[in-house]
């Protein structure tokens, strides 16, 4: 075979390959069309979408394999069908890819007449999740409101009792207020399914984020206080100087993070944005929520666990004088309680965010959003020092006899510890032989 014939064969082979590739691409793009060539997407009976043929004036169903879908116009959302047959959707806060058979594209006309078809708009019809949630969002919102009530009640009781408004008590008040406001904003967003003003929507979203993150910083502040108090067990501090530093740490850091996230959210560009107030009132999806929220929560929970482990090791390695044991025992138990109530539910929440929906994770979500009653039980009902203070101030006169019986059953280790360890440094300890 001559070199000329060999060149012709090579060119012919390349042409055949090009035609095959072009045919495959065209076929894939044809599969992505909602309607046949020359047809338009229009509104049919019961607000359904149909393909309308202006020549024959007939309609037929659109070519999409789902019953529930949304329609996005090219005027607002930029989209293309790439060579792999995926729909690449460029949104104000993110870029997403839709798999083949989960979308179709076409030209939409508002009315079935020739004049309106001349002004047709290119649209993408995208399938949405047809599975119904196991529990309605409204029920979750009402549970959040229950938590808000108990958290507000806990904060109010601590505000009314000077005996418990020490450094720890003030921090508890701030924690309860921040978590209550965060859950209240989240409940409002769950109850209001649609928003006419996206600016107001964004404000609610960022307020929710700020208060929830602040509640985690307050849990970390309380853990730090527990660690610092190990050197002076139950050294009661009713002042404001040290507390002011915790205020700057918890509220200030939360505010800085929220402002930084708002800047990232509204700054022009194709970077990963949270999406709050752009398409939704909350994060665009779980990925953004992990980037900007769960990551911070994970760091703070990990820090609290480290403090908890260090406290355990400190108690395990040393034996203390009897006056210290009661104080340290109570502080250690309080550490465990706070960790279980404030840490574990959110760990389950983060795990459930990457798992398929099931009744187990729904139960864990309920435990998470019903933190309020649990916190009320631990910080008010089961804390005898608080009950005694309420009884002394006449807040429990209607049930005073039952309360006195309840207080008489077990000694109050916290009060005993405070009386015997005031101003006694931890250095006064007896190391084990």
Sheet holding 103-108, edge to edge: 58-61, 49-53, 40-43, 103-108, 121-127, 69-73
Sheet holding 87-91, edge to edge: 78-81, 87-91, 94-98
- Segment holding 27, helix H or strand E: helix 3-31
Contact indicator for 348, 243 with CB cutoff of 8 Å? no
State the angle between helix axes of 167-191 and 137-160 in degrees (0 to 180), rounded to the nearest 10. Answer: 160
400: its two tokens: 């005073």
76 vs 388: which has the higher pLDDT: 388
Q: What digits encode the pLDDT tens for the residues 71-117?
A: 777 766 778 888 777 888 776 556 677 777 788 888 888 777 766 65
For the residues of 281-321, what is the DSSP string, one character each?
SS-SSHHHHIIIIIHHHHHHHHHHHHHHHHHHHHHHH-B--
Q: Can you give the pLDDT at residue 225?
A: 84
Q: Can you give the pLDDT at residue 406?
A: 73
pLDDT band at 9; cut points 50, 70, 90: low
- Alpha carbons 85 and 202: distance in angstroms, whole number: 34
The lowest-confidence range among 168-172, 206-210, 256-260, 264-268 is 264-268
89 vs 252: which has the higher pLDDT: 252
The CA-CA-CA angle for residues 82, 87, 92, to 5°, reads 115
- Alpha carbons 92 and 198: distance in angstroms, whole number: 13
Residue that is written with structure tokens 């072009």 in the block: 22
For the residues of 75-99, what is the DSSP string, one character each?
TTSEEEE-TTS-EEEEETTEEEEE-
- Domains and their CATH numbers in the chain: 33-127 (no CATH), 137-421 (1.20.1070.10)
Q: What digits encode the pLDDT tens for the residues 43-66?
A: 777 667 888 888 888 888 887 777
* Alpha-helical runs (H) found in 161-197: 167-191
Q: Can you give the pLDDT at residue 11?
A: 65
Look at the alpha carbons of 146, 151, 153, 156 in this order and tell me if their dihedral is positive or negative: negative
The lowest-confidence range among 206-210, 292-296, 310-314, 323-327 is 323-327
Q: What is the mean pLDDT of residues 179-190?
A: 92
Helix (H, G, I), strand (E, B) or coil at 64: coil
Backbone angles phi, psi at 89, to 5 degrees: -110, 120
- Percent of the chain topping pLDDT 70: 71
Q: Where are the beta strands (DSSP E) in 109-228?
A: 121-127
- Alpha carbons 259 and 254: distance in angstroms, whole number: 9
Q: What is the mean pLDDT of residues 238-253?
A: 89
Q: Can you give the pLDDT at residue 27?
A: 42
3-state helix, strand, coil in the chain (%, to 5): 60, 10, 30
Q: Can you give the pLDDT at residue 248?
A: 96
For the residues of 356-406, what is the DSSP string, one character each?
---HHHHHHHHHHHTHHHHHHIIIIIT-HHHHHHHHHTTTTGGGHHHHHHH
Residue 172 has pLDDT above 70, yes or no: yes
Q: Can you give the pLDDT at residue 408?
A: 72
């Amino acid at each position: 075979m001559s070199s000329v014939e060999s060149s012709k064969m090579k060119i012919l082979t390349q042409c055949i390959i090009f035609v095959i590739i072009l045919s495959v691409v065209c076929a894939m793009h044809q599969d992505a069309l909602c309607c046949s060539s020359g047809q338009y997407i229009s509104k049919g009976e019961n607000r359904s979408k149909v393909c309308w043929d202006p020549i024959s004036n007939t309609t037929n169903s659109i070519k999409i394999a789902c019953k529930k879908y949304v329609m996005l116009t090219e005027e607002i959302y930029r989209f293309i069908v790439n060579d792999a047959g995926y729909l690449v959707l460029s949104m104000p806060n993110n870029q997403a890819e839709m798999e083949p058979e989960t979308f179709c594209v076409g030209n939409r006309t508002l009315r079935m007449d020739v004049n309106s078809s001349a002004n047709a708009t290119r649209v993408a019809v995208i399938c949405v999740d047809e599975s119904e949630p196991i529990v309605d969002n409204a029920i979750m919102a009402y549970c959040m409101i229950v938590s808000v009530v108990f958290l507000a009640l806990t904060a109010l009781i601590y505000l009314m009792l000077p005996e418990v408004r020490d450094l720890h008590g003030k921090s508890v008040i701030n924690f309860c207020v921040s978590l209550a406001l965060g859950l209240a904003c989240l409940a409002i967003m769950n109850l209001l399914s649609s928003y006419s003003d996206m600016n107001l929507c964004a404000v609610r979203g960022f307020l929710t984020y700020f208060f929830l993150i602040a509640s985690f910083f307050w849990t970390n502040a309380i853990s730090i206080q527990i660690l610092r108090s190990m050197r002076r067990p139950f050294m009661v501090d009713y002042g404001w100087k040290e507390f002011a530093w915790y205020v700057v740490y918890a509220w200030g850091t939360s505010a800085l993070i929220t402002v930084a996230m708002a800047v990232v959210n509204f700054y022009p560009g194709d970077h990963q944005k949270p999406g709050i107030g752009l398409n939704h009132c909350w994060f665009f999806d779980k990925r953004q929520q992990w980037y900007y929220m769960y990551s911070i929560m994970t760091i703070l929970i990990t820090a609290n666990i480290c403090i908890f482990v260090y406290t355990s090791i400190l108690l395990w390695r040393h034996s203390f004088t009897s006056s210290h044991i009661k104080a340290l025992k109570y502080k250690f138990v309080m550490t465990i309680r706070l960790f279980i109530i404030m840490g574990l539910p959110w760990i389950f929440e983060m795990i459930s965010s990457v798992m398929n929906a099931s009744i187990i994770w729904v139960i864990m979500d309920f435990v998470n959003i019903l933190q309020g009653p649990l916190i009320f039980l631990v910080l008010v009902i089961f804390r005898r020092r608080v009950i005694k203070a309420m009884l002394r101030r006449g807040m429990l006169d209607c049930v005073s006899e039952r309360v006195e019986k309840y207080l008489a059953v077990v000694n109050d280790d916290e009060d005993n510890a405070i009386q015997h360890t005031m101003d006694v440094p931890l250095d006064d300890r007896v190391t084990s032989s």
